[in-house]
Amino acid sequence: MSDTAPAVPSPPASPLAVGAELPVQRYPLTRADLVRYAGASGDRNPIHWSERTALAVGLPGVIAHGMLTLALAARAVATWTRDAEVLELGSKFTAPVVVPDDDEGVVVEVRGFVKDVAEGRASLALEVTCGGQKVLGQPKAVVRV
Partner 1 sequence: MALDADLVGRTFPATAPYLVTEERVREFAAAAGGSWQGGPVPATFPIVLAFAAMNDFLDDVGVELRRIVHGEQRFAYERPVRPGDVLSATLAVASLRSIGGNDLVGTRSEIRDAAGALVCTATATLVHRGGPDE
Residues at the interface with partner 1 (CB under 8 A): 27-28, 33, 36-37, 39-47, 53, 56-59, 65-68, 70-72, 74-75, 77-78, 83, 85-93, 96, 137, 141
Instruction: Determine which helix (DSSP H) or strand (DSSP E) holds 27, and give its type and residue range.
Output: strand 21-29
Shorter beta-carbon distance to partner 1: residue 85 or 101: 85
Nearest CB to partner 1, comparing residues 6 and 23:
23
Give the whole-angstrom CA distance, residue 7 versus residue 5.
5
Burial code (b: 16+ CB inside 10 Å, e: under 16) for 43-56 equals eeeebbbeeeebee
The smaller minimum CB distance to partner 1, of residues 95 and 111, is found at 95
* Distance of closest approach, residue 78 Cβ to partner 1, in angstroms: 7
Q: Is residue 28 a contact partner of residue 106, using CB atoms and an 8 Å limit?
A: yes
Distance of closest approach, residue 73 Cβ to partner 1, in angstroms: 9
43 vs 31: CA distance, rounded Å: 14
End-to-end Cα spacing for the chain: 23
Tell me how far, at minimum, the Cβ of 52 lies from partner 1, in Å. 11
CB of 145 to partner 1, least distance (A): 14
Q: Which is nearer to partner 1, 18 or 56 (CB)?
A: 56
